[in-house]
Amino acid sequence: MASGKPESEQVPPKTPDLSTWYNAICYKAELVSLSPVRGCVVLRPYGYGLWERLQSALDERFKATGHENAYFPLLIPESLLTREAEHVEGFAPEVAWVTQGGTETLSERLAIRPTSEVVIGVMYAQWIQSYRDLPVLINQWANVVRWEKRTRPFLRTLEFLWQEGHTAHATEQEAAAEVQQMLDVYVDVAENICAVPVYKGEKSASERFAGAAHTFSIEGLMPDGRALQAGTSHELGQNFSKAYDITFAAEDQTIQHAWTTSWGMSWRMLGALIMVHGDDRGLRIPPRMAPIEAVIVPIVKAGNDEVALAARSLFKRLKDAGLRVKLDERDLRPGNKYADWEMRGVPLRIELGERDITQGVATLVRRDKAKGEEGGKVVVPLDEMVDRARGILEAIQNNLLARAREHLQSHTFMVAERNEFFRMCRERAGMIDIAWCERPECEAFIKVETSATSRNLRPLEGGPTACVACGEPARVRAYFAQAY
């Protein structure tokens, strides 16, 4: 924003090339900057503001469900990491290592955490002695590093921000209930805060988290027909408690292994929000996620302080009422300011000119509506502004969700015929819903043929049927799609 230049005309259209549009928007809306570090982006203040909105929505829900925040070390000794065999095998290709401290070569390499099951498991082994110590319900807000080859802001970066919840329970049932509860928190935040509708379900064996017994995910659909996994929740069974000795004395005095879970959502969710809602003019941020819900643009003529004063007083009134509001008094043409805030996706613009003031009104412009679309501009009396702005923000939130849901539903296809299934997967038609055998060989074949993978699974309803892809007996229903 430093230059103040309207740059909207430089953004390529959203279709047909979503990817080019996406990258341009992330930089031009000043969410991120390229950094001098390969594969890492800088989260700029506006981007961080978005992250903070997501963070507070999640954090509030974690606490409401009995979780507490804690913090664990960034570095993990190699000997600890290798104790859970599947886990280390799954993460080995993307772990970054510290081999030297100052001038000294380390006797044991230290992994930079790709995730924290290991170090947290070691601590839980010390903290948990008795059934009375359970459950342990902890969340960590942290950065993690995974050595990715390609970089896209929010979707794939070497270092990223996330939260990881880690819990330990006395029984398998309790752990399973925790995993579903947190999956539902993710659905709630995705749909009701980010306005991104999702499908929830279990991941297939080949898409499962390394070391987990069951992995569940939420999956959104992007405008280019690719699915995006936006949150995962894992039943770790007793795999980690056996590898890291998390045992407790049960009520009957027997020594048992705890049942553990982990669950995470990262700033990837922001990537989904950007792609789902943005348009050719820039971002469109759902009000509940917006760092700035409304921007006031005074249309000031030289030598007339009246408009500026009225704008400041309106700003104060909205701010005092609890709205996240910004007053744009920069020395720029109003049109340039409009383009700036449109690019940044601020949901509501309040225009205030000389004539408005004499009439005691202001013009509200909705970012979710196209130019000229009905209801896009409303003239509102200044003394009704707080309530009207609140009402319109609510309408914008609902409208963005409804549009996104319409897109998801109209691009979800129940397919029963083999050739049609393969064709639709190849063409990225959307979420392709089939009866599936759940066999890894079948999934591998589909991937080679079409680049699509299973996104998540749900129970098969009705009588026995055959896998649409291979003809073997079906065991589940599955959404297939190419994915980010």
Residues that bind Zn ion (CB under 5 A): 437, 442, 467, 469-470
Interatomic CA distance for residues 319 and 294, integer angstroms: 10
Interatomic CA distance for residues 352 and 350, integer angstroms: 6
- E strand or H helix at 400, and its extent? helix 385-410
* Minimum CB distance to Zn ion, residue 201 (Å): 17
Residue among 264, 276, 271 at smallest CA distance from 195? 276
Residue among 430, 429, 47, 1 at smallest CA distance from 274? 47
* Minimum CB distance to Zn ion, residue 415 (Å): 13
* Minimum CB distance to Zn ion, residue 223 (Å): 29
Buried b (16+ CB within 10 A) or exposed e, 304-331: eeebeebbeebbeebeeeebbbbbbeee
Count CA within 13 A, CB hemisphere, residue 239: 20
365 vs 467, beta carbon nearer Zn ion: 467
341 vs 480, beta carbon nearer Zn ion: 480
Task: Give just the sign of the alpha carbon dihedral 232, 238, 243, 247.
Answer: positive
216 vs 422, beta carbon nearer Zn ion: 422
160 vs 436, beta carbon nearer Zn ion: 436
311 vs 474, beta carbon nearer Zn ion: 474
Interatomic CA distance for residues 2 and 44, integer angstroms: 12
* Minimum CB distance to Zn ion, residue 413 (Å): 18
* Minimum CB distance to Zn ion, residue 469 (Å): 4
91 vs 436, beta carbon nearer Zn ion: 436
40 vs 470, beta carbon nearer Zn ion: 470
391 vs 440, beta carbon nearer Zn ion: 440
* Minimum CB distance to Zn ion, residue 465 (Å): 11
Count CA within 13 A, CB hemisphere, residue 212: 26
Q: How far is CA 376 from CA 134, 323, 347, 394, in A?
A: 53, 20, 11, 14
* Minimum CB distance to Zn ion, residue 436 (Å): 6
Interatomic CA distance for residues 266 and 229, integer angstroms: 10
299 vs 470, beta carbon nearer Zn ion: 470
Task: Please tell me what DSSP assigns to residue 282.
Answer: B
Residue 191 CB-density burial (10 A; 0-12 exposed, 13-18 middle, 19+ buried):
middle
Residue among 464, 483, 484 at smallest CA distance from 475? 464
* Minimum CB distance to Zn ion, residue 219 (Å): 20
* Minimum CB distance to Zn ion, residue 136 (Å): 40
Interatomic CA distance for residues 443 and 473, integer angstroms: 14
* Minimum CB distance to Zn ion, residue 441 (Å): 8
Contact 308, 296 (CB under 8 A): no
381 vs 471, beta carbon nearer Zn ion: 471
Interatomic CA distance for residues 116 and 165, integer angstroms: 9
Residue 133 CB-density burial (10 A; 0-12 exposed, 13-18 middle, 19+ buried):
middle
**303 alpha-carbon distance from chain centroid:** 47
* Minimum CB distance to Zn ion, residue 455 (Å): 16
* Minimum CB distance to Zn ion, residue 467 (Å): 3
Interatomic CA distance for residues 1 and 344, integer angstroms: 10
32 vs 442, beta carbon nearer Zn ion: 442
- Which ranges of 265-384 does DSSP label H, i.e. alpha helix? 268-277, 305-320, 334-343, 354-359
Beta strands 476-481 and 361-366, pairing class: unpaired
74 vs 470, beta carbon nearer Zn ion: 470
